[in-house]
Structure 1
Amino acid sequence: MRCLWITRQDPRPADSGELIYTLGLLTSLAARPGLEITVLAHHGKKDGIGGPAVIWELHGTIPSGRLRSLGSTLPGDAFRLGNPVQRAELTRLLEKQWDWIIIDQAACAWALDQVGNDRRVAYLAHNHETSVRRQVASDGSGSFPMRMALKWDSAKYGRMESALCRRAILISAITPRDAGAFRSENPGKPVCILPPGYTGEIPDGPPRPITAETPRTVVLAGAFEWLAKRRNLESFLRAATGPFQQAKIGFQVVGKADPEWFAALAREHPWATFTANVPSVTPYLDQARIGLIPEALGGGFKLKALDYIFRGLPLASVEAALSGVPVDPATEAIAAPDPESLARAVAEKIDDLAFLNYAASRALAACRHAFRWEDRGDLLGRALENPDAFRA
């Protein structure tokens, strides 16, 4: 089976959730016998080395700037990705025979008009972009021109993703929630659920105990480059200012971010600590009682949930962000519908050591064998071989 895989950029090194997911699926699928995969993408910001046994077609870098996309039918991301360099390379590659054209995330649907209607297309969704973009555009934050631009971009994302789903023979979703949305909008379309795998260390025994000596700290780890991620953090900081300070809870934010933005947040919220672009978040996870998932905006699977769980941390999460994580939000996590109630719930539970240890133990047991990349490659391979088996 010969597959042309169209994605945003070289996922090596995989230093964000988007790239981790792409590289994990690529590696696990390429390991199956009888598959030949060619990847069309831009060069990444760092040189990609190693990785799966695929043919890399890497050309150019992703252009900056979005203003020119305002006059296009494509949203900003797709407009920049479908630049003349990529389109010329796709034209060349389409002269070959392919069993599947794999569109890896909605922004790569720029390729649809060149692919035509006589090839089999699979859509590997990272989000249900239509709902995510609409949600971000309706948030109400930012200047009036920014809000209008986001609404226009959101509408274009919705049209583009709808066209991609109609054209695709197979859709994969990263969470059950997203799969339900795709099935509702595309009745009878084959949809398979492909949560991420995990490549980090998974402990064999129970999680490390949370004791009275464990710092009374909540940690938020992640990448804060996308607008929705930044807004989620800013929203939670506003919500937690009162409850966390009153309960004298430490809040550590660590991960991939603009250092100047983190510095501005530190000046505005001196009760919290912000550390950007560290080589590893593990030392910060090991000095906390709770791992936070505050994403009220944005969909997809929260990879940081697995980092928390496999380091022995119980989860505190906005309920919608737990889709795909096999924990009971009522008894095995601190879950709430919004940042305000989540901040209050964390303050109530921070010293309940029995609950924290129970939640951490249950989550680790449920996830220990549930996130193997090999299983994801097998499932995606079977879906490509027989899409009809995945009709609802």
Structure 2
Amino acid sequence: MPDTAMPLPPSAGEATTRPRRRLIVVAPWPYHPACGIGGGVLCFELLRRLAHRFSIHFLCFDQVPHDREAGLRALGALCDSVTMVPLPAAEGGLADKWGQLSQVPLRLPREARGMRSPAMAAALSRLARQWQPDAVLLQFPQMAQYADDAAGAPVVVDVQDAALVSRFREWRSTEGVARRLTRLVAWLAWFRYELHWYARADGLVALSDNDHGVLRSFFPDRPCLLSPVAAEPRHLPPRGRDGYAAFIGNFDHAPNRDALEWLLGTIWPMVRRAMPSLELHIAGPGIPAWAADEARDGVVIRGFVESLDDFYGAARVALVPYRFGGGTKIKALDAMARGCPVVATPIGAEGLGVTPGVEMEVAGDAVGFGAAVLRLCQDEGAAMRLAEAAHRHLARHFSWDSKVALLAGMLEEIGATRREGAALTPPAG
């Protein structure tokens, strides 16, 4: 078993003799260190640490972009049980068209509809009745639709990326009447979906200040925890002048596809004209076929990469060119942890608490973004100062110990509240 699949030792001062609470985690896919999705890697690292406080029963769909068996092995080392449910077959033809038209009145956006599964609902109910968990943690918005299937157990939704924020931004940034109408319908569907299902939960978890504020505004009577992303800073590697510009993401995710389109269509041509020797390396699952057409302009399509340490270690600068999206951009944190200087848009820097020009270059337009890339590639001293400041910022503000303690405390408190309420309720009849 690789080291990355093993539980971490308890943190200093953590009680190891107290009985562990029971937690069911419900996810869209099996998490593991090489799953190819930043959110999945982050959630796996969270599981590693929660496993010292909870007996975890993991439930997910049987889908993963990379190495399913590695995922099963990694989860098996952490969890008391792992249950995988087949992903529903994709709808086509008239059924898909009806789904697109009906997503607003039915409160069922396309991504959530693709994960609507009676088998998943039944599996969650069965596990909840069998294990009587202290809490059920539903991770990612598309899994919130199972809030009523926990057999009475308290439910917390780990929102990760509030679609009512990110899809609104997507609509605002879209051009063209037809495309804007499509994006507006998608946002309205997500808006109705999240308003309904988040209100059914006993608690909510947000990754970014912005998402946290929005969720608290819409759900003032629900406990809402701000639980920022966390990372472990690595050793800062030396960087030369022969590295590349790096962009990585799961390109099945709409904000990543849009960022790639903007990067290749507008930003990169300007950078390439000013610095013809610089290459752009694109990595991650789901890279669209049209991106290959740009390979002749110094663009290298890497696809899945086994090691983020190697990918960012050989890069001169990391790019986070988001025009919309919610939550916190984990790829920015990953690069900062590995000493790679970052250029991001304001949305790409959201939730990181950075000062533009100190820990990260931040630019909201294509010209400014391209100029920042060139500045860091041409001034090694500036790039190193930025990377070192980002490294220090990460160590101060993105501690795993703090994140785990706050989340575990919320889960335990919600479970205790439910148990106390049940004890005070007189038996029926």
Return the TM-score normalized by structure 1: 0.85
SS of 2:74 mapped into structure 1? coil
What pairs with 1:56-71 in structure 2 (closer than 5 Å)?
56-65=82-91, 67=96, 69-70=99-100, 71=102
Q: Using CA pairs below 8 Å that are at least 6 residues apart, which structure has the higher relative contact order? A: 1
Once the two structures are superposed, the pairs formed by residues 220-369 of structure 1 within 5 Å of their partners are 220-248=247-275, 250-258=278-286, 261=289, 264-266=292-294, 270-368=297-395
Offset, 1:288: 3.0
C-alpha separation in 2, matches of 1:139 and 1:326: 24
Q: Is the partner of 1:152 in helix, strand or coil?
A: helix
SS at match of 1:321: coil
2: CA distance, partners of 1:262 / 1:256: 15
Which residue identity lines up with residue 43 of structure 1 in the other structure? Answer: D
Counterpart of 2:407 in structure 1 is 380
In 2 relative to 1, CA 246–255 (structure 1 residues): closer, same or farther, beyond 3 Å?
closer
Deviation at 1:230, TM superposition (A): 1.2
- Match of 1:40, SS state, is strand
Gaps of at least 5 residues in structure 1 are none
- Residues 1:179 and 2:203 aligned together: no
Letter in 2 for 1:377: V
SS in 2 for 1:313: coil
1:84 counterpart = 2:118: yes
Structure 1: which amino acid aligns with 2:338?
A: R
Map of 1:110 onto structure 2: 145
Aligned residue runs from structure 1 range 199-210, under 5 A? 202-203=234-235, 207-210=236-239
How far does the alpha carbon of each residue in 1:255-301 deviate from its partner, in whole angstroms, 9 at most, with x for none?
1234662653425x624333222333444433332211111221222
Contact 2:341 2:386 in 1 (8 A): yes
TM value normalised by structure 2:
0.78
CA contact (8 A) 2:258 2:323 kept: no
Asked if residue 98 in structure 1 is aligned to residue 137 in structure 2, the reply is no
Q: 1:29 to 1:62 in 2, by over 3 A?
A: farther
Unaligned stretches of 5+ in structure 2? 1-20, 416-429
Deviations 1:308-343 (A, max 9, x none): 223322111102221232431243321112334211
1:209, distance to aligned residue in structure 2 (A): 4.4
Superposition map of 1:128-139 within 5 A: 128-139=162-173
1:164 aligns with 2:226: no
Q: Secondary structure at the match of 1:379?
A: helix
The equivalent position to 1:3 in structure 2, one of 2, 11, 23, is: 23
Percent identity over the alignment is 21
Q: 1:379 to 1:85 in 2, by over 3 A?
A: same
Number of equivalent positions: 377
1:172 aligns to what SS in structure 2? strand
Shift of 1:107: 0.5
